[in-house]
Structure 1
Amino acid sequence: MTDPAGTIDRATQTEPGAAYHALVADAIAMIQTLAGDVWTDYNYSDPGVTILEQLAYALTELPYRALLPVEDLLAGPDSARLALRRHAMYPAWSILPCNPVTLSDWRRLLIDRVPGLANIWLVPLGTTDDDPAPQGLYAIRVLAKREGGEEAALIERVRRCFVAHRGLAEDVERIDVLTPIDTVVEAAIEIAHDTDPDEALAQGLFALTLTLAPEPTRIGLADWRARHQETTAVFSGPLMLRGFIEDDQLKPAPTGFTVEFLAEVLGAAPGILAVDALTVRLDGQADAFAGAAPIPVPDGAFLHLWTRPLAHGRFSITITRMGARIVPDAARVERKLEGLWTVHRKTWALRGDYIAAYPGPIGDHVDLAAYTSVQTQFPLIYGIGENALADGVGAARSGAAKQLKGYLMAFDQLLADYFAQLALLRTLVSIEAGGPSGPTYAWQSLRPIVPDVAPLISRNYELHMAELVGKTDPVERRRGEVLDLLMGMLGLDWVMPLSTASPTNLHARDHTWAQIAAQQAMLRRAVPATRDRGRGLDYLRHRHRAVAGTEWASRIELGLIDREHEVGEVWPFAQGAPDAIIDFRYPPHLWEPAEVLFVLVTAEDLAIEGGAQDADDLSFLAGRRIVPELLLVTHHADAYRIGYRDDLGKHSLACRDPDGQWWLVARVDRMETALRLLRALRLAADRQWRDRLHLVDWILLRHGAGVNGDAGRFGMHVTAVLPMHPLPEPGDGDAAWEMRATTVLRANTPAHIALDCLFLGRAAMAEFELLYAAWRLALGCRGQSRLARASRRLDRFLAKHLPPVAKHDPDPPPAPPPPPDPAPPPAPPPQNALPVPVTLAIPDRTDPDEIPTDAPAEMSLLQRLEGLAQRLISPVLRLIGSLRPGLQPGAAPTALLAAPQPAAPKPVQPSHPARHAVAAPPGARGFDCDSVLAVSGRAAAFKAQGFTFAVRYLARETPGVDDLSAAEATAILDAGLALMAVQHVTPGVWHPTPPLGNAYGASAVRQARACGLPQGVCLWLDLESVARGTAQTDIVGYCNAWFAAVRAGGFRPALYVGADCGLDANALGTALDCEFFWRSGSQVPDVAVHGYCMVQTIDKRFVLDTIAYDLNVIEPDARGATPFWAVAGTTP
């Protein structure tokens, strides 16, 4: 039976390549066939036979080297051990383990990886009808090895380990460290006559301790292999690093015991013959348990056995031997107990054991390319070896020798190239497949090989040889064949990604190179992409490195390889020396001035007469580079701004990335140049960032909704967000791409998880990228209110763009009941249910408290710059410019483009119904939320539940749709609730400065006035997520500047103290010009001198009428003061 096509015959080859005599015989037979009529003498002294014999002998070296062991062929010069991963080969301990799947897998992994962990139990939530949690959530209960103040650190280690290995659509809801309950066991034991009483007591106490608080023990690799013979069984489940744990060691969490059972445990200890009168006493309980009485273990606790002597100096367990009572040595018992725990808790360094037990092949490095010319093997009489001809020989003799040398050089070149090709095997048969630009055919020069060869080869010999080999080397095809071979060895299916054929993909030069790049990426990620296919996003790690296994595998298969999206990398738009590099990040203290003082670039500014943008605009980016973070925001309405530097006559184009950092994109002479650059950036972004894939795990979006909402949509549900991707081939289109993408994603997603595929256009994708980036950042920071806001915003986006999907019940629903009688027509809605139109006053541009940020829509960008630059931009741009080469700080201001306009009248606060500020009564219950309350009677619903007041958000600058408005303030007050306002904190980690505080404070005053809040009401400053290392003087300066601006506007400044506020208790109480403090639901310092007058509680269960909120309670501070809020009605 013949082997099928495309396979390698395993049988030993019978070609006589290494048999010298067979080669000579075959060669003579061939010569006789070709030249038998003219060549008849084949004796060994014939020169032709000599040449034939020398060539045959040289040829035997080639099969000899080619048949060397594979490990010798692949061994490098630096190490005898093979670099397996370079050749897409992996050791057993790397490729066989998998991500945790079962609860036992999880327990083994966490016990193995988390120091200080004695035992752990995972409780799945959402598995019963009365549990409203989404499926996929776990509650974790931890048994710590040590008591004391390490609980928070232990919980953090457990959380990080779980999140790093969590399955897709799974997460941890809470982690609790079990509380120890001191337990005293009193008993009388009888020991054997030859038993050490100290040893017997230690063994008995050890057995009881392990029973009350079970702790698994580990075994080493040798013992594990003895019990599990097959390698696949050795590496079943997650990879163990500190020892293996058998199934019988993973006992369930104890919920109760009986006294009889504990007596049996004690009696089974070595050396103990009998147990009598055993009782159990728990700390805090007066009565002891005895007889058959059950001993319950309280939820969230464990029984901690008291193993030291009691107050009277004796152990609670008495010992008798042959009728005589024996008093054990307490110190000796303690040492023996410590020895038992040391043995029980022994760990192994398994990485070294794995390498020793499953070593990779070790080869002997051979210089496979080394070659000695066949000419050196000829007798000296031939005159072709090194210095073979004596000086003074005639021209005929010398010419004959050169003729023979030239004749033999063809054989030398061929053999030398064969050996060079054999040496290339180590690089060619690897994931590099010969290197990014290296040839797949090798050759080597004869200059150092053939003796006295200089007169016989030309000066350009090497150049011509390289050209000749290059013309006959199908590099792309041969590299692809090598990669196909490696992928076949790993059993990886390969289908050419549709996206690599797209002309808009600028990562690859053509179709073939894109395929090679995709295959190499798949091979490099083959093990984690398949082993961790079911692993979810590690949201506590850097966002560019932590990717779900399903997402990785699908990106590679679909050709959506995000090579440039790494921190610090840049994307070259075109070849050539860069005349500008877009990589200057403004210092943190200038971020907010740049945002406030630069003028926003609108869509109208970028509009082009005549319609669509010309693709030739990309040529404007020739020689420039840009960090990828900026490409994410090119379509965002609030990302790019332009400012004017009057003393340089330059326009500065600045951009804010998703993390809130500001970058200088370019400084140009003309505004049209800046706009053209921005148009080119947008066009480049369309092409560069179009091919991207994100996987949204809905279980992580649950933070934006309460558990009494629709929990089902968060459980076992993921959404893949992909670009719309039209294909260039005739007859193909979006449908083909979407079908292919959906098929790949479904195949890579675990079957028990529901999958949505959302295909977005460029503008929608840009919006999603920003929301997704903010959500990822919030997940890593874990600030509860911030995470809830980011989750809600992303949830709303997905709900808006995902098509409605009918829910499929496992069983058909029952028949609907008969329709009820027609209901009476609904009553007309109350008059106050409609928003009350409010006329907003236009701020006075000359008011020192008002910093202009926008201009009327009908004004051009140039007009807005002219009106803004005279008063505000010049000083700041001089400061910014001092940070760049060639800009001199402190330059005197010069005339700008236009003269300042005359001052406008002072703004008049809008007219509102009678409202006034009053001090809040102690004990009042209220709430704060990030959702609008002016619709569907939401404010009234909170009032009906007993809430007294609401705290709503103001924007840092321009109010958004979710921020407090005049209509909402009216609805809240008309519902009978009191009202205060708090200003949003800057998203992400940020750096406070006094100018920023002044700008934010002035903005808060403007918005409070526009919303109709009366003077005297407390406006709260949200202080949290301050960058670590920020000086307290900067934070204090920022706060006090904000307080001064708010106080100047007629309001009472107040401070919300959130997580990572950057100030300690003393600075909060003594350095800040503030009298009212609000404690957040996070862990925050106390406030010296003043204390807190309002306290927040954060709980995801706080949801009312689909509105997630935080609970707040008014309490008098150390001075007896309470905050002031706004109420409706006549002034008392």
Structure 2
Amino acid sequence: MTAPSLQRIPRLPPEAQEDALGFASLRQQALDWVQEASGELWTDYNLHDPGVSLLESLVYALTEEVYAARDSVPALLGLDPDDPGLASAQSAHHYALLPPEQVHTGRPCSELDQLAWLHEQRPAPRHADLAALKDVRGRPLGLWAWRQLGPDQADDAAQRRLAANLAQRYWQQRNLGEDLWSLPRLLRPRWVRLQLHLVLQDDAELSEVLAPLMLACERYIAALPLSLDADELLRVRADQLYLSDLMRSLRCLPGLRSIELLHLHEFGPAHAHETESTTAPSDSLPWRGEDWGLRLHWPEQRQDLADWVVERSGARLPLAHAELLLLLQDLRRERSGARSSDLARRSAPTVPTVVPPAPRLADEGRPARYVPASQHLPDLYREPQALRWTHDQVRRTPPGQATQWAGYLALLEQPLAQLRAQRRHLAKLYDLHNASARSYWQEALDATQLPGLSWLAETDVDSPGLLDAQDEAAERRGRALDQLLALHGEALDFGPLQDVPRYLSPQAWALQQLDCKRRYAQQIAEFTGNRQAGFDYSRPGPERSLTQGPPLQRRLALQLQLLAGPRLSQWLQISGRLPLEQPHTANPQALESSGHWHPLPHAIPSPEHAAEPPSLPDLQAWLGEAADDAALWRAAVRPEAFRCQRHKGLCRLRLGPDAEGRLWSLGEFPDEASAWTRAVALHQSLCRLQQHSEGLHLVEHLLLRPTDGADSPGTLDDFFMHRLSIVLPGWTARCADPRLRALARLRVQEAAPAQLRCRLLWVDAAGMQRFESLWLAWLLSKRAYCQALLDDEATAGAQRRVDERAAALSTWLRQEHAKESA
């Protein structure tokens, strides 16, 4: 006998916890503080006292801001919840709040990945394959061989143009260190026709079964996958087509009971209407060959249906040949029209991306001016009785009491107004396209909002700089951007760069770091899942702007603050100077022992604007042989390195010592003011010139391989396989610092694809000029060669120029690699 189940009384639900920032909690906390502050003087209070009512008004206003701050993120950022599409575009463009499909992305790496990318193209290619080429030891080269079925009827010129257009699709999405070995190979169709024996269900119509059956057969024979999963992609890569697999894929068609017989008969284009097959029926046949792929021939004449047998309910159905041929031809034309439309859409020029408008704040329609919380008090409490008077009443106010009351109201209202101003401008704080560094917004109250406020103000309350001077813009705005980057698992830490020489004042340097962080967040999707992408060398790219370079190059440039480009030697050529590493000829002991050297009377200011172009004084006339000494240029970046000395009524100016103890005499001047002026000019001009010369170039060795066909892929030199060279100036003050070089190596190891071997090349000014001339000549010839392919023009001369210039650039890179290894 089982024991009866116990009857349990359910527990009472737990009492709701009070909100720590709610009205009741804040009001009680404020009263506790008042009691604690008053001590023994506090005896009792009335909830209707003016002081308590004023306190409750303050608490109510605070809780209103607390509740507003707890609103949803879209509402706080001004996004429109009624238009999800626009809100999504705004959040992605302005705040890098991307949907999951844009965050969790990856680039095609394996052969199956590349095949999936091929079948995502429209129109879907038939018999498409991208195979990775390997060397004699079985190692991948980073080269791909693309093949797919060509058009049914096209001349050689049309075939070449199609192959070039297909190649450009790959160039637009290729990975770093990878390329096509040659133009895609277009396979010729090898036609096959169907021999069928079908059994239909009792209620099925012939036309309703044959139409989807022909479409399914064409798709299967053309090696088009039903989905992009691994099993389907492996199936369409097989070399042998088994009829049993084809029949199994057709049995799920509605209205079809069974397939008693299915054969594919091959025949040549010249015998497309012959009834006799050129090959005997078999259980399988090759799916594709070296230069051909199977293609289904649709019936066009009565003889094409001679081998078709259709049964239903045990009886053979007579085929209405004319109607059936018309149905199949209409279906085929409709299919061809859909492919042509896909091709036209793919070939159409890209529509420029429309930048979504800036979000509209949720409370933007409210009155622009702040309405004081004290105005919501009853008249009895809005102003003390002793302060109220009329024009016919003699005012008897104790001295200072009116000012004291105005001060109380100002202490209450101004913080609330500031809270409201920050919430209303929250979207601007996080907006990635807001180039302003401002992080704090003020709403200064005036006498129309708070009577008597003018008695307190010692400065003009309407002055826009009243609170802006207290705005730590770079630090506060930087924290907001750090939050956005943290959502993507990224951080842009400039801490390791703080001790590296810099070319700007501390304020300008902080603003430049903030701008780098903002630009980094704008491109965060490319810098994470897409950082393995290469650039399309058939179109204008990194030689025109740094923003058109590969994501890895742009990422490293922002992380290291090497922002110049694309021509790093441009300003040196304009100035006519070429700083070189020269043997030091000055006598530092003579300068040191010639008396006491003291700092200049005023500090030497660094440049305030990063974008201002450099302008050099006549260094040759001033400094002589030392004008092109790179060590002097680096030492001039430090303002404290300039020293002066009184000697025979003149002011002598020197520079140094640097890290190696070198000193340079900068001449004699009538007085210290003249020496200071000349030192400022030298310091600022050399700072700007070095800043405009600091950037980086990224070279993929594989793109420099010979294209004349002399070498087969299997014998490709190891120099071209999975190698990147990152070329940087080694002569500037920052790039010569070992701390920045160590940081550069670390950032490259973190961000570069694991299969690539990256090498940093720190070159002098002459080496950078030589490299850029070779690199630009090769890149322009490469683009001209690609354009000749796209325009179906003669390519022999263009290909020869590409090979010559690639060989010259490869020779230079090999020499620099040898120097780095020595």
Q: Structure 1 length normalisation: TM-score? A: 0.51
Mapped contact 2:190–2:266 kept (Cα < 8 A): no
Mapped contact 1:182–1:303 kept (Cα < 8 A): yes
Pairwise mapping of residues 637-648 of structure 1 onto structure 2 (< 5 A)? none
Question: What CA distance in whole angstroms lies between the structure 2 residues aligned with 1:337 and 1:483?
Answer: 55
Query: Counterpart amino acid of 1:420?
Result: A
Hey, what does 1:299 align to over in structure 2? 290
Say whether 1:281 aligns with 2:266.
Answer: yes
Query: Counterpart amino acid of 1:425?
Result: L
Say whether 1:92 aligns with 2:100.
Answer: yes
Task: Tell me by how many angstroms 1:500 deviates.
Answer: 6.8
User: Per the alignment, in what secondary structure is the counterpart of residue 703 of structure 1?
Assistant: coil
Mapped contact 2:124–2:224 kept (Cα < 8 A): no
Query: Counterpart amino acid of 2:809?
Result: L
Say whether 1:326 aligns with 2:326.
Answer: no
Structure 1: gaps spanning 5 or more residues: 1-11, 219-243, 350-361, 583-603, 619-678, 807-1132
Mapped contact 1:134–1:699 kept (Cα < 8 A): no
Say whether 1:490 aligns with 2:488.
Answer: yes
Hey, what does 1:612 align to over in structure 2? 626
User: Per the alignment, in what secondary structure is the counterpart of residue 412 of structure 2?
Assistant: helix
Specify whether residues 507 and 23 from structure 1 end up closer, same or farther in structure 2 by C-alpha distance, changes over 3 A only: closer
Say whether 1:737 aligns with 2:740.
Answer: yes
Query: Counterpart amino acid of 1:780?
Result: R
Hey, what does 1:754 align to over in structure 2? 757
Say whether 1:251 aligns with 2:244.
Answer: no
Say whether 1:393 aligns with 2:378.
Answer: no
Hey, what does 1:803 align to over in structure 2? 818
Mapped contact 1:187–1:318 kept (Cα < 8 A): yes
Specify whether residues 435 and 288 from structure 1 end up closer, same or farther in structure 2 by C-alpha distance, changes over 3 A only: closer
Hey, what does 1:764 align to over in structure 2? 767
Mapped contact 1:88–1:486 kept (Cα < 8 A): yes
Task: Tell me by how many angstroms 1:785 deviates.
Answer: 2.0
Say whether 1:721 aligns with 2:727.
Answer: yes
Question: What CA distance in whole angstroms lies between the structure 2 residues aligned with 1:453 and 1:294?
Answer: 98
Question: What CA distance in whole angstroms lies between the structure 2 residues aligned with 1:535 and 1:127?
Answer: 23
Question: What CA distance in whole angstroms lies between the structure 1 residues aligned with 2:614 and 2:741?
Answer: 37
Pairwise mapping of residues 1073-1088 of structure 1 onto structure 2 (< 5 A)? none
Query: Counterpart amino acid of 2:767?
Result: A
Mapped contact 2:108–2:117 kept (Cα < 8 A): yes
Task: Tell me by how many angstroms 1:156 deviates.
Answer: 3.4
User: Per the alignment, in what secondary structure is the counterpart of residue 748 of structure 2?
Assistant: helix
Specify whether residues 211 and 450 from structure 1 end up closer, same or farther in structure 2 by C-alpha distance, changes over 3 A only: closer
Mapped contact 1:540–1:779 kept (Cα < 8 A): yes
Mapped contact 1:497–1:515 kept (Cα < 8 A): no
Mapped contact 2:505–2:608 kept (Cα < 8 A): no
Question: What CA distance in whole angstroms lies between the structure 1 residues aligned with 2:370 and 2:810?
Answer: 68
Q: RMSD between aligned alpha carbons? A: 4.8
Mapped contact 1:183–1:281 kept (Cα < 8 A): yes
Counterpart of 1:112 (choices 90, 114, 120) is 120
Question: What CA distance in whole angstroms lies between the structure 1 residues aligned with 2:282 and 2:120?
Answer: 37
Mapped contact 1:122–1:141 kept (Cα < 8 A): yes
How many residues of Structure 1 are paired with residues of Structure 2 in the alignment? 662
User: Per the alignment, in what secondary structure is the counterpart of residue 236 of structure 2?
Assistant: coil
Hey, what does 2:636 align to over in structure 1? none
Hey, what does 1:415 align to over in structure 2? 416
Task: Tell me by how many angstroms 1:79 deviates.
Answer: 8.7
Q: Which has the higher contact order (CA 8 A, sep 6+)?
A: 2
Question: What CA distance in whole angstroms lies between the structure 2 residues aligned with 1:340 and 1:317?
Answer: 24
Question: What CA distance in whole angstroms lies between the structure 1 residues aligned with 2:756 and 2:766?
Answer: 29
Hey, what does 2:352 align to over in structure 1? none
Counterpart of 1:711 (choices 708, 711, 717) is 717
Question: What CA distance in whole angstroms lies between the structure 1 residues aligned with 2:112 and 2:211?
Answer: 30
Hey, what does 1:779 align to over in structure 2? 782
Counterpart of 2:299 (choices 304, 308, 312) is 308
Mapped contact 1:384–1:401 kept (Cα < 8 A): no
Hey, what does 2:20 align to over in structure 1? 16
Say whether 1:555 aligns with 2:557.
Answer: yes
Pairwise mapping of residues 296-695 of structure 1 onto structure 2 (< 5 A)? 296=286, 297-310=288-301, 314-321=304-311, 322-323=315-316, 325-328=318-321, 329=323, 330-336=325-331, 365-366=362-363, 371-381=370-380, 384=383, 390-396=390-396, 404-431=405-432, 436-438=436-438, 440-447=439-446, 450-452=449-451, 456=455, 460-462=459-461, 466-467=465-466, 469-496=467-494, 503=501, 505=503, 510-543=508-541, 544=545, 545-562=547-564, 610-613=624-627, 687-695=690-698
Question: What CA distance in whole angstroms lies between the structure 1 residues aligned with 2:565 and 2:23?
Answer: 51
Mapped contact 2:444–2:462 kept (Cα < 8 A): no
Counterpart of 2:33 (choices 17, 30, 33) is 30
Question: What CA distance in whole angstroms lies between the structure 1 residues aligned with 2:685 and 2:806?
Answer: 27
Query: Counterpart amino acid of 2:487?
Result: M
Task: Tell me by how many angstroms 1:162 deviates.
Answer: 1.2
Mapped contact 2:133–2:142 kept (Cα < 8 A): yes
Query: Counterpart amino acid of 2:519?
Result: A
Mapped contact 1:168–1:536 kept (Cα < 8 A): yes
Mapped contact 2:697–2:728 kept (Cα < 8 A): yes
Hey, what does 1:290 align to over in structure 2? 280
Say whether 1:171 aligns with 2:173.
Answer: no
Mapped contact 2:508–2:608 kept (Cα < 8 A): no
Flag the structure with higher helix content.
2
Task: Tell me by how many angstroms 1:343 deviates.
Answer: 10
Task: Tell me by how many angstroms 1:680 deviates.
Answer: 13
Mapped contact 1:122–1:139 kept (Cα < 8 A): yes
Deviations 1:348-389 (A, max 9, x none): x9xxxxxxxxxxxx998135986321331333346759x986
Specify whether residues 394 and 59 from structure 1 end up closer, same or farther in structure 2 by C-alpha distance, changes over 3 A only: farther
Structure 2: gaps spanning 5 or more residues: 1-15, 346-358, 576-605, 634-681, 786-797
Specify whether residues 25 and 701 from structure 1 end up closer, same or farther in structure 2 by C-alpha distance, changes over 3 A only: closer
Question: What CA distance in whole angstroms lies between the structure 2 residues aligned with 1:195 and 1:67?
Answer: 62
Specify whether residues 140 and 389 from structure 1 end up closer, same or farther in structure 2 by C-alpha distance, changes over 3 A only: farther
Between 168-177 and 69-78, the greater mean CA deviation after superposition = 69-78
User: Per the alignment, in what secondary structure is the counterpart of residue 768 of structure 1?
Assistant: helix
Query: Counterpart amino acid of 2:416?
Result: L
Task: Tell me by how many angstroms 1:793 deviates.
Answer: 1.6
Pairwise mapping of residues 978-1017 of structure 1 onto structure 2 (< 5 A)? none
Task: Tell me by how many angstroms 1:414 deviates.
Answer: 2.1
Mapped contact 2:761–2:820 kept (Cα < 8 A): no
User: Per the alignment, in what secondary structure is the counterpart of residue 396 of structure 1?
Assistant: coil
Mapped contact 1:704–1:791 kept (Cα < 8 A): no
Specify whether residues 203 and 517 from structure 1 end up closer, same or farther in structure 2 by C-alpha distance, changes over 3 A only: closer
Over the matched positions of the two proteins, sequence identity in percent amounts to 20
Q: Structure 2 length normalisation: TM-score? A: 0.68
User: Per the alignment, in what secondary structure is the counterpart of residue 302 of structure 1?
Assistant: strand
Question: What CA distance in whole angstroms lies between the structure 2 residues aligned with 1:401 and 1:735?
Answer: 65
User: Per the alignment, in what secondary structure is the counterpart of residue 75 of structure 1?
Assistant: coil
Between 82-91 and 173-182, the greater mean CA deviation after superposition = 82-91
Say whether 1:793 aligns with 2:808.
Answer: yes
Specify whether residues 503 and 720 from structure 1 end up closer, same or farther in structure 2 by C-alpha distance, changes over 3 A only: same
Query: Counterpart amino acid of 1:18?
Result: G
Deviations 1:265-298 (A, max 9, x none): 7888663745459461320689622243864443
Counterpart of 1:210 (choices 202, 219, 228) is 219
User: Per the alignment, in what secondary structure is the counterpart of residue 308 of structure 1?
Assistant: coil
Specify whether residues 402 and 79 from structure 1 end up closer, same or farther in structure 2 by C-alpha distance, changes over 3 A only: farther
